[in-house]
Chain A
Amino acid sequence: MHSSDAKTARTMVEAVSVEAGKSSNATPRRRRAIKLDTGDLVLQAFSYLTVGLFAVFCLLPFVMMLSASLSSEAEIRRSGFGLFPKDFTLAAYQYIFNAPQQIIGSYVVTVVMTVTGTAIGLFVIAMTGYALNRKDFPFRDHVSFFIYFTTLFSAGLAPTFLWVARVLDLRGSYLAVFLQLLMTPWLIILMKNFMRTVPYEIVESGKVDGAGDFRIFAQLCLPMMKPALATIGLFLALSYWNEWYLSSLYLGSTVEFKPLQYHLYNLINTANALRNSVAGSNVSITDLPTNTLKMASAIVATGPILLLYPFVQRYFVSGIAIGAVKG
């Protein structure tokens, strides 16, 4: 074995044993060299290479956007995008931030919605997922189907809009967006599926101790579900963060501060809408930095989530702290 290979092997052994040790109280803690064949090494190398390449594939367009957002509009118009800014300028960002109270307001609206929505939604989803996974819950199939059915059969845009806007009278209210994003069938079923990893013995031991169903869920199961909660919480947070469609239907221009993504979407689409449209005849477009503006808006919208991500990721790596039987 070459020294570098040996090092890799050692790192790996350590990693495995650390995780094994952490993961399992049932199995005795042991530090033993597991067999490392060339297959492992090939797999390792292949993994680094593929993941690395795919990451670059995902990153490159982003770099292009970043550089475009920092280029001058005239240069972009002349020669398109590149990997490095052409004729560096912050004009696009200035345009986005030139009414700072607007973008700050949007940030506040979005952050508040995302945080509270994720917290409330996650709790409800976890609760439902837990109940639906309980094998002794006689209505689990009924309720599952009741929830799943909504993905198969939806009223569609117009009837839903008429209902929410005219009957619930929620148009023009942030609630229309906030409530509709609280949960999706997909996340509930996903949560139910994650709950399978909680062994039924835990539930039973809780019952033996005289705990009620809700206490078993809140005190015994939830703490074991960190990766699931992190995953689904991330998805929920993303859907709040990325939301613009419901905002466009239910908020439109009725609110002073639009959710962030909808605010940016509007910035991007205003220029598009005015061009080649009948309406454009009446409006003078004041030198909007169209291309660079689009790109800068994407950067502004994405930045904060990038900062959030490593924080969430901690939970994935921690794994589920049990070594019991699979559910």
Chain B
Amino acid sequence: MAHEDSPRRRKSLLRKVVDSRILLLMCAPAIVFFVVFNYAPLPGIWIAFTNFNYRDGIFGSPFVGFKNFEFLFKSGQLWMLTRNTILYNLAFIILGNILQIAIAIMLNEIRLKFFRKISQGVMFLPFFISAVLVGVIAFNLLNYDTGALNALIKQTGGDPIKIYSTAGLWPIIIIMVHLWQSTGYGSIVYFAAIMGIDKGLYEAAAIDGASAWQRIRHVTLPSLKPTFIILVLFSLGGIMHGNFGLFWNLVGNNAALFQTTDIIETSVYRMVLSQNNFTTSTAVGLYQSLFGFALVMIANGIVRRINKDYALF
């Protein structure tokens, strides 16, 4: 911030507070909210280093150092899990945003209001289907004995595929399910952003004789850039956190698929969480937070260097 202020405008902190008191007050409810529900529990992370019990409480329980983290390293899987988690999230972020932008632009091209409304509404449906049901539907489509897909293959004379034992297929399946579930929802942001683009720009482009593609390339896409960057940077914050419900319900205990589908959450769940071990889960969360934090700081630093306006902070 300091570098934003020219010397002429440099004021004392108190002065700044007084001058911007209304704006500060406008932020106050949100600030209080995050203090109460996000910052206040932070010291509780201490339980990751203790053998937590209810009698002694968070800070009275015996200190055990890094013991709650040990299993992560002992299992020898940490690197593979971290890699899988990050790669899946990257795929979700990149493909997700591309598809969302594409759908938003195409929706904008569609002139039949009726068609647009219906299709946009329909694309929302998957968002409401809970992960448990997604798992059930996927199984009913893909399983070997009674699955709809294999039934179709058999009807056309082909050999059914053992999808649930072919690890290589699952990154594609999981990504498709994710896109299926989130695209309609995500494209809303871009659609709203397109709606916010000054129509004069399109007119000017039309007068200049721009083709449809040029219009999209030179008007729409650049206008979406800030939204895109913010959304991507934002999703990076969660890059170490996998979507447990989705992976667990699609893959479950099917170890034949783990190599390509195991993420931190699912693996940790199998190792400790089925035991309801609160301290280890906190330890894993801390690892994810620290790793993710470092990643985002780096990414944000790079963006900031390129264009300050697009940096998150």
Contact = CB atoms under 8 A, between A and B. Distances in A.
A118 B70 CA distance: 43
B137 A190 contact: no
A151 B237 contact: yes
B312 A157 contact: no
Interface string B118-146: 11111111111110110011001100001
B227 to A, nearest CB: 6
B123 to A, nearest CB: 5
B109 interface: yes
B230 A193 contact: yes
A289 interface: no
Given A62-B125, A151-B238, A125 B180 contact: no
A144 B23 CA distance: 13
B184 interface: yes
Contacts of B39: 150
B33 interface: yes
Contacts of A326: 198, 223
B137 A61 contact: yes
B45 A265 contact: no
B225 to A, nearest CB: 11
Contacts of A137: 20, 23
A160 B42 CA distance: 8
A134 B4 CA distance: 13
B293 A302 contact: no
A72 B230 CA distance: 48
Contacts of B113: 317
A37 B22 contact: no
B110 A48 contact: yes
A125 B148 contact: no
Q: What is the size category of the interface that chain A forms with chain B?
A: 35 or more
B44 A80 contact: no
B38 interface: yes
A152 B146 contact: no
B73 interface: no
Contact of A309 (B46, B124, B282): B124
Contact of A157 (B115, B216, B282): B282
Interface string A123-151: 01101101110101111011111111011
A323 B199 contact: yes
B306 interface: no
Interface in A274-307: 291, 294-295, 298, 301-302, 305-306
B90 interface: no
Interface stretch (B77-85, B165-173, B202-210): B202-210
A307 B233 CA distance: 33
A237 B184 CA distance: 16
A103 B71 CA distance: 44
A108 interface: no
A162 interface: yes
A39 B213 contact: yes
Contact of A51 (B119, B124, B185, B281): B119
Nearest to B176: A57
A154 B121 contact: no
Interface stretch (B153-161, B256-264, B284-292): B284-292
B58 interface: yes
A156 B200 contact: no
B117 interface: yes
Given A54-B103, A231-B192, A298-B130, A20 B136 contact: no
A55 B118 contact: yes
5 contacts: A54-B119, A62-B126, A242-B127, A305-B128, A320-B196
Interface of B: 1, 5, 11, 16, 19-20, 22-24, 26-27, 29-31, 33-34, 36-47, 52, 58, 102-103, 105-107, 109-113, 115-130, 132-133, 136-137, 140-141, 146-148, 180, 183-185, 188-189, 191-193, 195-196, 198-200, 202-203, 206-207, 209, 211-213, 216, 223, 226-227, 230-231, 234, 237-238, 278-279, 281-282, 285-286, 289, 292-293, 296, 312-313
Given A47-B109, A150-B39, 4 more contacts: A59-B125, A124-B30, A230-B192, A323-B200
7 tightest A-B CB contacts, nearest first: A159-B44, A156-B285, A47-B106, A155-B41, A163-B41, A34-B206, A23-B199
